[in-house]
Structures are given as structure tokens and as C-alpha cells.
Structure 1
Amino acid sequence: MTKRQPDLSVFETLESEVRSYCRGWPTVFVHARGSRLRDENGRSYVDFFTGAGSLNYGHNDPALKRALLDYIEADGITHGLDMATAGKRAFLETFLNLVLRPRELPYKVMFPGPAGTNAVEAALKLARKVKGREAIVSFTNAFHGMSLGALAVTGNVVKRAGAGVPLVHGTPMPFDHYLDDRVPDFLWFERLLDDQGSGLNKPAAVIVETVQGEGGVNVARGEWLRELAGLCHRHDMLLIVDDIQMGCGRTGAFFSFEEAGITPDIVTLSKSISGYGLPMSLCLFRHDLDVWEPGEHNGTFRGNNHAFVTATAALETYWTGNRMEKQTIARGEQVEQALHMIRDEHPHLGAAVRGRGLVWGMEFADRHRASAVARRAFDLGLLVETSGPEDEVVKLLPALTVGAEELDEGLRILARAVRETT
């Protein structure tokens, strides 16, 4: 059968030049289920991108889809701002019983808007309101969103440049391993805090990702995170963990900070919290930090009831017990082993492998190779993206529900892509 060229003309002529992912994957997708997508030519692709981590349970999960269809067919509330609805009540009760209470996490739940950047903006705004201070500390190679407040605590120079205005009130500090362990952790940061002549305005909060996804799959050690939590406590700064991409089981446990044994003051969640790829974000914070006045921070689309329904179904389906966590860790070991084999097969590439759970990256010494590998992988039927400040890392985000055989299939395609671009 002769495959026709995809008709991309309307995207190229009408859609803004800002589009990005479609440039690397020049086809028209029409169907998705589990860890596979199919384009209009009938070609199948293994998905190791999963909506940039928004589809931890794969595409069109049957249990989540059934719950959503039943709710829609019953004419359940779709749009509700922050009104009390049955869908929201079911989600809050389930989130409390399956996530917060078993982990003894003392959080209240805020629905700040549909996207992760909305949750970050709310977290920063709340921290400043609580502490009465403006400065926020972030970390090198961090990514927290594309709105102005989130960009101010983001490291990537290209994304920051798009703001068009000065990005103020944010100060970057070295992330774990940034200085190749030549300097004791937080030596510089704490010295600045202690020195009245340092010029550092005392921060209201510190915001951190336990694994920097967009920054290049940089993994913070548990001891580093514990030291950071202690520093924040000593200096009266709130600790914000951005768990937008790494939460909801991506690293194994539901929250990526659980393994480190810390309890952040504020946590942001989005991406896979709805379970189905529907827009939804949460800002979680200690009860004593709930100093908001009614309506002080709001938004028209902060009450996506369809997302509440699928989020509830996702929690009930996958987070009753620890089966999902164990499976993610096991699948992660499968990925790690495969990536080490690829690295060892091509020692001249100087590749480095790092990750946790089911987020993994392979960094190449040649900064252009990762993009070439991703392009070749697409030609061979695998979707992977690149990350890092120079797109030097091939980043893998398989669905947590991916089967061992399907995962192996994607890893074999990746190995071939690396082999054919050397």
C-alpha cells in the first residue's frame, strides 16, 4: 500500500510559528490507546513521550474513559468555577483517603487553574503573602512554566528571553551535582543567607524539582533534598516542591519527594493528576498557610469537573495499595538496564544515563546527537523528546502502565536509532 504524504498545510499556514512538537513528528495522529498512537496512514508508534508526562496511565485508559462517559451521559456538571459539585467532592474525598491521609500529609487543596504554571504562580504568590517577602530562590536548569512568575524561576535562557520584560525577584542557586561535587552542598547559598553584606534579599521560599525533567533529567539525591529542607527551616523560608511532571507516580511513589523523607510546605501538581490528559492543577499547602481571602486568587477554568471525574477514577484504579509503585520501579529497572547496554555498545559517544522510576535520560557528549536520535526514532516508530539546555538529552517518559514487552519494543527501537546515527 502506498502511503500518502500527510496534509500539514493548514497547520503550516494558519497555526503560529510557536508550534514545536509537530515539527519533529510530521504526521497527523488520529488514534491513541495505551502506549501507542496511530497516524492517518495507519502507522503505529510506541509512545515514550506521553503528553510530556500528562498521560501516566497511557492514552484513553478504559476505566477512566468509562467513568468520564458515564458522567457526561448523565449530564453531570462540566463547568463549575469553584462551586461545590458532586465531581469535586468525590475527587477531594478520594484524594484525602488514598493520597494525603496514608502519607500523613497535612495539606489543604487549592484548584488554581488548568495548567501547571497556574499552580506555580499560586504557590509563589502564597509564599510571598505568608512571609511578606518578594524574593524566591530556584535552581540552575529549573523549569517551572511559561507565565511570567514561573519564568522568573526558570533557568532556560531561550524560554526566559520570550518573556519580553525583566524577570525579577528570582535568584538561582546550584542544583545537585551542578558543580560536580567540588563544593559542599549549599555552602554558597547558606553563606549568602548568613552574610548581611551579601546583597541577597531574604527569600520567601525556595522552589525545586526533585528531578529536573526539562532541564535534562537531573536527579537530586535524597540527602541533598533533606539538607535543602533543613536549610529552609533554619532560615524561615518555605519549601515548594514542583511535582508537576514527576508527581502522580512518575518516580515510583505518588509524590517524588517521598523517598527523601521530606514534607514540603507547598506542592504543585498538574499534568497526570487528571489521569486522562485533561487540564487540571493543584496547589497543596499546610493548613496554617491558608491565608487567602475569598476570591483573592481565582480563575474561570479552575473547576474542570471532567478532570475531577477521571482523576478520581485514576486514584481508585491505580493507587489503592502499592501495585503501581512496585510496577513503576520494576519497569524503571528494565529501562535503566537497556540504556546502560546502549551506552556500553557505543563507548565513543561518551553517553551518560540517569533517571528514577520511569523518567530516564541519555545525554550525549555531542550536543547535536540527541536530536538526531529522536528524529531517527520517529522514523522507526518511536516518540521520544529531547531536553536539557542544549537539547543534549534523549528523554524517556513511558506510561506507567506500559507492558514489559511493549517497553522492550520501544527500547529496541531506541537502540537502533542510536546505532544508525553514530
Structure 2
Amino acid sequence: MTITPPALSVFETVESEVRSYCRGWPAVFDRAQGARLTDEDGHEYLDFFAGAGSLNYGHNNPVLKRALLDYLERDGITHGLDMATTSKRAFLETFQNVILRPRDLPYKVMFPGPTGTNAVEAALKLARKVKGRESIVSFTNAFHGMSLGSLAVTGNAFKRAGAGIPLVHGTPMPFDNYLDGQVPDFLWFERLLEDQGSGLNKPAAVIVETVQGEGGINVARPQWLRALADLCRRQDMLLIVDDIQMGCGRTGAFFSFEEAGITPDIVTLSKSISGYGLPMSLCLFKPELDVWEPGEHNGTFRGNNPAFVTATAALEAYWADGGALEKQTRARGEQVEQALISITEENLVDVKEYRGHGLVWGMEFHDKERAGRVARRAFDLGLLVETSGPQSEVTKLLPPLTITEDELDEGLRTLARAVRETAV
């Protein structure tokens, strides 16, 4: 593909230097549908990024778009704070009937601000309020958001440094297999909890991702998650699962923790909960934890009614039919895994490891700069992939769950070519 450098002058002169994705993908995008984007010059790109996991059902999904347009055309409520509206009622009823009840999950639903980090902040605040303690335990290579509370439980040194102040009341512990299986799970954590001389303040909660997306596609084993849930119960700590990127079907089941058979005390959702890329987040928690006073945690944009509309349409279209999307996601995941096996076998000296679950996968290289070169070459070839990991050493694959078998195969062949063509 021959790409003409776009006219980026206004972005470079007016927009802040903080912009990032546009640096790796120097195009001006104009249209998108399904798993493809088109720039203003007509070049087409296959999307293995999916809005960082916000577009599990693809760009401009026609079912969700129709519901949204019908709602707007009848002058449905757009902004409603936390007022009762017909669109909120429809979402709550559908979420309860399609997601919560079939899984025997008792959660109350809270609408914090519309982004993932808003949901995490609400979860941390609630855990501290319930337990009357300040400390939160997180895990190595975790990522939970960019606001101060979320950064305090995030591992990435670069992102933490941007806070500009000390990040306190968070304590990191080793994630699953962080010590390469040399130490029994939670030995260090539990020893600190039980030793009155350890210096670890009794935590209010533990927050964990079942698959660390930004941290490098690190997948927690179901038995590790079960052991963590058991430890939290025995030590009187709440278990928070951050399902912002891995929920809404990314790993197969609607919630990524379902396979482990655990019921977290608190769950955060965002990204693909609206289904259409519209800002929306949820903080779910067990009824006995609902100790909020009215207005104690609020936000102007916690009532994004157009997002309620598309979220309801997504639940009805993809989760009310007995698991067809889950089966498809697992099948597509097997397709990705087979392709990564082939790429690894072709590049045994270069590829350190591939890993993933459902439709989130990563490929780590011995040369930590290789993943970035692969992503840049993939862009030149018409494929959008990003990198992850503490040193951006992992090429990350996050295609829409609705991607076709042929589209996925096309993208994987392009990825294989990008790996070949970036060999030193």
C-alpha cells in the first residue's frame, strides 16, 4: 500500500503533545464499518485495535446504529444526570434479565462518570467506605486508568510518573506467574497479611484484571483467581475485578471471571458496555455493599442516555440468544492461536512467547523494540495493531468480536508478513 502523508498541520500545531495513537497511525480517518476503517484518501485498514476494546461489535454496527438513530430522531433524552428515563429503565431491565439473572449475580448497578477510570475510582472509594481502611492491593503490570486513584493501583512506571505527586495507599503484589512459578501463589502476600511486623496496612480490597491488557496480555489462570478470591474471603478484603477491557465478551463469556467460577464483590465495566463506542461505565457491587448516601458520588455525565440505547440493543442482539457470540469468539480465538503458532515457528529466534484468551492475544519479542516495528509495518500494509507491556514489547491483537473468519485470516496473514519484513 502506498500512503501519502496526511495534512496533519492542525493536529501538530493546535493539539497537545500528549496525543499518542495518531503518531503510530499517521492517517486522517474518515469512515468505518465493521472491522474496517477508511482514511480521507480512500485507503482501507483492517482494525485489530477496536477502539482499545471499546468496539467489540465493530464500527457502526448496523443494529446498534438503527436503535440510536431512531432514539435521536424521536427527540429521546440525551443528557439526564441520574434522572429516571425510559432508556435507562430499558437498559437496567435488559441487563438484569439477560446478564445478571442467568448468571445468578446479585449486583446493584451504579452509573459513575462515563469512562473506565471513573468506574475504578468509584470502586476504590466504595471499598474504603465499606471497610474503613485506606490500603488497596493491586498487581504487578496492572493498568486501571489515568486518574490519581487508578494510577495508584497501576504498575506502569511511565504512566505513574505523569501524576506529578506521590501515589499512595496502594501496594503491589506479584501477578500470576510473575515469579515464573518458583514461589507458591500468594505466599508473600499472605505472609505479609499475617505478620504484625510486615508494615502492610490491612487492605480494604484487592483489584485485579483477569487478563492484563495494557500490561502485556498476561493471563491469570482460573485456579489462581479462585485462590485469590478465597484469600480475600479469609482475610476480610473485598475483591474487585476490573473487567473494563476484558469484559463484554472479549474472553468469550460476558464477564472474564466466569470461567474461574468466582463472584467478585465489585466489578467495573466500561469500553464495550455501550456497544457503540459511546462513553459509558458501570460499577457493580453486592447489595450489602450499597452504603452510598444519595449524591455522595456523582458526575454530570453519568446519564449518557444514547449509550443506554445502544447498550440495550447490544445485549438484546448478542447476549440474549444462548451464547452464539461466545462460541464464535472462542472459535476465532483458536484461529488466532493457530496463526501465532505458525508465526512463532517461522521466527523461533525472534519470538519469545505468544499468549492470550478469547479474542485478546499478544506476541512478545526478545528484541523489545521489535513489537513497535511490527506495528508500524502492519500499518503500512493496512492493518491496525498496537503494542502493550511495560516496554511496549508485545504486539497486541484486539479485533472486533464480530469480525468474519475471512477478515481475521486476512489480518493474520498481514501480521505474519509484518513480522517477516521487520526481521533484522
Residue 249 of structure 2 corresponds to residue 249 of structure 1: yes
Residue 34 of structure 2 corresponds to residue 63 of structure 1: no
Correspondences of 1:222-301 after superposition (within 5 Å)? 222-301=222-301
Partners in 2 of 1:52 and 1:150 — Cα distance? 18
Partner of 1:308: 308
- Residue type of the alignment partner of 2:278: L
Correspondences of 1:6-155 after superposition (within 5 Å)? 6-155=6-155
Give the Å deviation of 1:4: 4.7
Secondary structure at 1:300 match in 2: coil
Partner of 1:381: 382
8 Å CA contact 2:351, 2:363 repeated in 1: no
Give the Å deviation of 1:2: 9.0
Partner of 2:340: 339
Over 3 Å counting, the alpha-carbon distance change for 1:210 and 1:75 in structure 2 is same
Partners in 2 of 1:368 and 1:233 — Cα distance? 42
Partners in 2 of 1:4 and 1:374 — Cα distance? 18
Partner of 2:402: 401
Partner of 1:164: 164
- Residue type of the alignment partner of 1:31: R
Over 3 Å counting, the alpha-carbon distance change for 1:46 and 1:2 in structure 2 is closer
Aligned length: 422
Secondary structure at 1:354 match in 2: strand
8 Å CA contact 2:3, 2:380 repeated in 1: no
Residue 184 of structure 2 corresponds to residue 184 of structure 1: yes
- Residue type of the alignment partner of 2:192: L
Partners in 1 of 2:277 and 2:23 — Cα distance? 21
Partners in 2 of 1:137 and 1:164 — Cα distance? 21
- Residue type of the alignment partner of 2:274: S
- Residue type of the alignment partner of 2:164: G
5+ unaligned residues in a row in structure 1: which ranges?
none
Partner of 1:418: 419
5+ unaligned residues in a row in structure 2: which ranges?
none
- Residue type of the alignment partner of 1:198: S
Over 3 Å counting, the alpha-carbon distance change for 1:3 and 1:156 in structure 2 is closer
Give the Å deviation of 1:41: 1.0
Secondary structure at 1:417 match in 2: helix
Partners in 2 of 1:160 and 1:232 — Cα distance? 26
- Residue type of the alignment partner of 2:28: V
Partners in 2 of 1:144 and 1:228 — Cα distance? 18
Partners in 2 of 1:414 and 1:101 — Cα distance? 40
Partners in 1 of 2:180 and 2:351 — Cα distance? 17
8 Å CA contact 2:250, 2:256 repeated in 1: yes
Where in structure 1 do 4 or more consecutive aligned residues deviate above 4 Å?
1-4
Partner of 2:213: 213
Partners in 1 of 2:6 and 2:21 — Cα distance? 16
1:66-97: CA deviation from partner (whole Å, max 9, x where unpaired)? 00000000000000000000000000000000
Give the Å deviation of 1:350: 3.4
1:93-149: CA deviation from partner (whole Å, max 9, x where unpaired)? 000000000000010000001100000000000000000000000000000000000
Partners in 2 of 1:417 and 1:2 — Cα distance? 15
8 Å CA contact 2:91, 2:311 repeated in 1: yes
Partners in 2 of 1:199 and 1:4 — Cα distance? 58
Give the Å deviation of 1:5: 3.3
Partners in 2 of 1:3 and 1:368 — Cα distance? 23
8 Å CA contact 2:378, 2:415 repeated in 1: yes
Over 3 Å counting, the alpha-carbon distance change for 1:348 and 1:14 in structure 2 is same
1:150-188: CA deviation from partner (whole Å, max 9, x where unpaired)? 000000000000000000000000000100000000000
1:183-205: CA deviation from partner (whole Å, max 9, x where unpaired)? 00000000000101110000000
Secondary structure at 1:351 match in 2: strand
Give the Å deviation of 1:351: 2.7
Give the Å deviation of 1:6: 1.1
- Residue type of the alignment partner of 2:163: A
Over 3 Å counting, the alpha-carbon distance change for 1:340 and 1:94 in structure 2 is same
TM-score of the superposition, structure 1-length normalised?
A: 0.99
Percent identity between matched residues is: 81
Secondary structure at 1:347 match in 2: coil
Partners in 1 of 2:299 and 2:236 — Cα distance? 30
Partners in 2 of 1:347 and 1:295 — Cα distance? 57
1:202-232: CA deviation from partner (whole Å, max 9, x where unpaired)? 0000000000000000000000000000000
CA RMSD of aligned residues (A): 0.9
